[in-house]
Amino acid sequence: MTGPHTPQPEFTAVATKRAAPGPKAPSKPTEKASSKKSPVPSSRGQAEKLVSIPKDLVLAPQVEAPRQPTGKDQSRGRSASSGVKELTWKEFDRAVQQLAGSIQETFEPQVVVGVAHGGVFVGGALAGALGCPFFPVRISRRSRDRSSGAPKSSKAPQVSEEMPAELKGRRVLIVDDVASSGDTLELASALAREAGAKKVATACLVTKPGGFSPDYSALSTASLMVFPWDYEPSTGDVRFDEDPDKAGA
């Protein structure tokens, strides 16, 4: 039995007061009741201050732990056995810095053009690392039948808008996230030259073994690469969020 001289833990005192505020103690309390009703004045003031805080703001975040891992962790658990490789934002930043360093060794771009969808993220990050202006462009593998207006498939990628006039007379870096066939990068490079680019180079964050080799790349894998922006609802540029079918090639 706890004697009157034994101090009670502060959290227990707070919890007891929160759970049963109750009426005042009787005029002739027992020894046990007296030990609970005689806290140190400073502790009593602190306890009453805590009691005044709404319960859902103080206790709710602490009493219930997460019931399952996050979606990102679950995906990572499946990736090892399904041929899928995920890239975190931290790994993405490291790869971009590596790619920027490689580019600066042999090429000094004056303008960076990113091909939507993924090239907008990679190109924007590279432009920041290289200190260059950045322009996004959308290239699609779908076109529209002029007679019916219905979409039809197209084997070759097609540009959805003109290259920016700022490319004229400048060294241009064309950027995409993954290089597979290289059709998109080759079309974008040709359009940049038509726009008057002085010199054009290509860069990709990821290449596929045996696939197209851009002038610069950071990673190579045969696995399906899942980027951090694949979990986001937008491209980072609202101009390319209206028609998801046309984002990327």
- Residue 164 exposure: Cα atoms within 13 Å on the Cβ side: 16
Output 154 or 208, whichever has higher pLDDT.
Answer: 208
**Res. 5 pLDDT band, cuts 50 70 90:** low
Choose from 6-20, 55-69, 184-198 the range with maximum mean pLDDT: 184-198
> Mean pLDDT: which of 33-37, 86-90, 100-104, 141-145 is highest?
100-104
Give 159-181 pLDDT, tens digit per residue: 556 788 999 999 999 999 998 88
In this structure, the strands spanning 84-86 and 224-226 are: parallel
Residue 15: per-residue pLDDT: 33
Q: Where are the domains positioned within the chain?
A: 16-63, 71-246
Q: Which band of pLDDT confidence, cut at 50, 70 and 90, is reported for residue 61?
A: very low
pTM: 0.57
Q: Which of 224, 229, 198, 207 is nearest to 107 (CA)?
A: 198
Q: Count Cβ atoms within 10 A of the Cβ of residue 198 and give its class: 0-12 exposed, 13-18 middle, 19 or more buried.
A: middle
Summarize pLDDT for 177-186 with one digit per residue, the tens: 998 888 889 9
- Is 71-246 a domain of CATH 3.40.50.2020? yes
Q: With a cut of 80, say whether residue 190 has pLDDT above it.
A: yes
